[in-house]
Structure 1
């Protein structure tokens, strides 16, 4: 019997496997995808598109702006810009116009005063986009899987229903990666989404269509989900805000695929938006009864918070080094907090962060209460039918005959190698528990942790195939079960978004959300693509 491989050799083999899959993917980069003469989408000229969701709702309630004018402004923008970014994959324009007219007709009757309207419908008349993985009645719900091309939602996902009840008007559904398990949003049904700041760069995943749609001012508020960074990576790459709530606060029901029993607590549904002031109102609506677990009404005194920061994960062999632009942006945040708030920002070295990828795999390897293994990815690709043969699909892909994307085929090929046996699971479960304890004790109920969102700014299309493990910069906080808000920090010299993750202890979402609003005021928040 061959001796077991050392952990270091196993890590190197995983990295080599990811690199080989990436080389295959470069073929697609060389020959696939549309080419654009423009580098970015055009700037916004319509003032209504530059207002937050709660500002729009207020103007509509006060009858200073007609809802139909707001909805039509967004429809016009989508028609101009979406062909370039391919963020929205199915429009809902006619239904949205009808619903907007209904809002205007109701307001014309003047049956309720403004305070009553705000309480009942905090997002009255506000355009909304929804990740295609969520059910939106009458709209596709394939998650980019060809086998589910004809799946049409007969009802709304819980969060979608709650937002509609709050007055929001869905105008379309947005692209995602195949089965929501990759950080580039591309699939065989809808094609590839493009970054509005540079069309040759990725939008992230799996909520990438939502990220680029919001960034391009084709929507103002949106719904995303996150089990490894699927809200935060698109928010970072597209320069918007995204929040991964504390686990168990916002309901996940009504999306496909749903995480397995043991993983569901780590799958988080949350808000994505251009303006930080929309985060808390959105979270209040989306959480429903779960909002009682949070302290959103608590006043946050930023000067009294404890701030901690870390420049990188400590040197994992699997991850890329953090780019200097991102380190400098983080240092500017630290310097600003120290000088303007007078708060102390402590640099920390959490040695176990270098095991971020392993901790995420540990989470995904956890068995259910009945000892049942998590759903296999090859089974999901077959849509609960006959599992696919990854090797055969790889051969077909090389011939241009597979209905699956290369990231999905690669994950299916590596799936069994990535899962941990009992011994390895026990080892990294202990690491996860130790790191969780260290972070929770450090943060307490009055601390936040500043951490890179990703090792690089938005890479070019297909480059993630050569860096498959970089998502662990976000995925680790799913494994640790901590709330995180992704905050934009302007653009780098090449015009691509910079950003940072703000992390807090369990159920202290109010702290990260308060910091997000402060950083928006201090660093400008979302920057309109194409703006000179």
Structure 2
């Protein structure tokens, strides 16, 4: 009986295939209409995925489920991708380690004592561990790139304004959307391009994603560090060496010259990011304070009171979230940084143009141990500066260090030149091996 039903199903499927072939002239409509048919997808929990948890890592939002899909998620679902679930984040996405009192700590698949990064840390971890195939992250200061770096995968921060940022938490305010990008994360570089084409929707025509790239005709630059920035750790020698190996490989393989350049203003990167995050919108309304975001859907929290409660284990909020709320409340954005930002934007636009590619460290060291980011918060300037400048960046893995932890580098291009950084990711994957199975160590 089962054999008969199976045979009948095969016959019916063959008839359907024949009808489709006759109507379309043999074109593969499924491939055109559903390019991601059946591909497992995971999504950062800050995005709305209908019927799934949507808490922003806050105990106050426990049990809240999304009633709609964020546009980027909807685009991928319409292309055939199947959401497996949503992945962990820090509270309100404002930390570089993914930990909250609702879901706990996210760990790095290469070493459980190491962080998975933030704020798309759950995405980085599940993709690095081969628990999902493709993922969605968001990036306002490095939240796609730092987790991708920490977990040995590829992550792309698109040019701002290309992929919709709607229906995610926390809601952007002031002029923060100018810094925010939604983008793809994955283990294999070849998946970045089709994902971005789908996620961009109607804006895809603003990019040149179908343009063939001849890497030999590009101009290449490398910046070894940001200089002597206040409160920022120096870039480790192993990461500098990894970047130098990329330079050597490019020059040997492509016959190009990679020029080392320096921008003294990069030492002001944190000030530029902080003031950009604090700018009012066109109507003069300031961004929501972090203590307000922490308290939603209730009243704003009192950071000092929460710190005292945390000392005795009674706060609903993590120490990093309280620390960031205090930092934001006690420091004022230096408006002088706006002039520095304007000059640096002009310098980068002039340098990169439409055919320039730049290499830059992602962080100052490989994935730190848990809780250590409290002492390395300012190191996020290595990613955050490109949110300020509005440039597309692809984070690329470069193998593992002697401890078995991922190395990597950022590849940067001019505005709307996302295809250049993605093509570079494909090249670097072939040259350095791309993602490595953490279970094989």
**Shared fold by TM > 0.5?**
yes
**2:356 and 2:413 in contact (8 A); partners too:** yes
Residue 471 of structure 1: SS of its match in structure 2?
A: helix
Residue 436 of structure 1 corresponds to which residue in structure 2? 345
Give 1:108 shift.
8.9
1:499 aligns with 2:412: no
1:170 to 83, 86, 90: 83
Question: 1:377 pairs with 245, 269, 290, which one?
Answer: 290
Does residue 460 (structure 1) correspond to residue 369 (structure 2)? The answer is yes
C-alpha deviation, 1:467, in angstroms: 1.1
**What is the match of residue 292 of structure 1?**
205
Check whether the contact 1:127–1:170 (CA below 8 A) recurs between aligned residues: yes
CA distance in 2, matches of 1:163, 1:466: 38
Corresponding residue of 2:356 = 447
Distance in 1 of aligned mates of 2:89 and 2:188: 22
Out of 474, 477, 485, the residue aligned to residue 386 of structure 2 is 477
What CA distance in whole angstroms lies between the structure 2 residues aligned with 1:281 and 1:112? 24
Which whole-Å CA distance do the structure 2 matches of 1:314 and 1:496 have between them?
25
SS of the equivalent of 1:199 reads: strand
Flag structure 2 segments of 5+ consecutive residues without an equivalent.
Answer: 1-11, 22-26
Q: CA RMSD in A?
A: 1.3
- Matched residue, 2:196: 283
Asked if the contact 1:240/1:488 (under 8 Å) is kept, the reply is: yes
1:512 alignment partner in structure 2:
421
Kept after mapping to 1: 8 A contact 2:174/2:279: no
Q: Does 1:144 align with 2:81?
A: no
> For the structure 1 residues 311 and 106, does the alpha-carbon distance in structure 2 shift closer, same or farther, using more than 3 Å as the test?
farther
Q: Structure 1 CA distance, aligned partners of 2:408 and 2:14?
A: 40
* Alpha-carbon displacement from aligned partner over 1:122-154 (angstroms, at most 9, x marks no partner): 101100001111111111100101111121111
Give CA-to-partner distance per residue, 1:466-485, whole Å, 9 cap, x none: 11111111011001100000
Mark the CA change 1:375 to 1:213 in structure 2 (over 3 Å): closer, same or farther: same
CA distance in structure 2 between the partners assigned to 1:215 and 1:414 by the alignment = 32
CA displacement 1:430-479 (0-9 Å, x = unmatched): 10010010011001100011000100100000000111111111011001
Verify the 8 A CA contact 1:243 1:270 in the aligned structure 2: yes
* Superposition deviation, residue 387 in structure 1: 1.1
CA distance in 1, matches of 2:153, 2:309: 38
Aligned runs of 1:306-325 on 2, under 5 Å? 306-325=219-238
Secondary structure of residue in 2 paired with 1:501: strand
- Show the counterpart of 1:29: none
SS in 2 for 1:448: strand
Kindly report which structure 2 residues correspond to 1:258-273, keeping only aligned pairs within 5 A, or say none.
258-273=171-186
Q: Distance in 2 between matches of 1:106 and 1:492?
A: 50
Asked if 1 retains the 8 angstrom alpha-carbon contact of 2:60 and 2:297, the reply is: no
SS in 1 for 2:271: helix
CA distance in 1, matches of 2:407, 2:310: 35
Deviation per CA, 1:172-227: give whole Å up to 9, x if none: 11101110000000001000000000000000000000001000000010000000
1:394 — aligned with what? 307
Give the whole-Å Cα distance in 2 for the aligned partners of 1:464 and 1:107.
57
Q: Does structure 2 conserve the Cα–Cα contact (< 8 Å) formed by 1:240 and 1:274?
A: yes
* 1:519, distance to aligned residue in structure 2 (A): 0.2
CA distance in 1, matches of 2:151, 2:332: 31
TM alignment of 1:16-31, pairs within 5 A: none
What pairs with 1:318-397 in structure 2 (closer than 5 Å)? 318-397=231-310
Post-superposition offset of 1:418: 3.0
Q: Which aligned pairs between 1:70-85 and structure 2 lie closer than 5 A?
A: none
Q: Take 1:417 and 1:312, find their aligned partners in 2: how far apart are those partners?
A: 28
The CA distance in 2 between the partners of 1:158 and 1:370, in whole Å, is: 26
Q: Give the structure 1 partner of residue 44 of structure 2.
A: 131
Which range moves more in the overlay, 112-121 or 354-363?
Answer: 112-121
CA distance in 2, matches of 1:112, 1:236: 44
3-state secondary structure, aligned to 1:454: coil
Q: Which runs of 5+ in 1 are unaligned?
A: 1-104
Preserved CA contact (<8 Å) 2:88 2:99: yes
Structure 2 contact 357–411 (Cα < 8 Å) conserved? yes
Report 1:64-213 matches (<5 A).
109-110=16-17, 112=20, 115-213=28-126
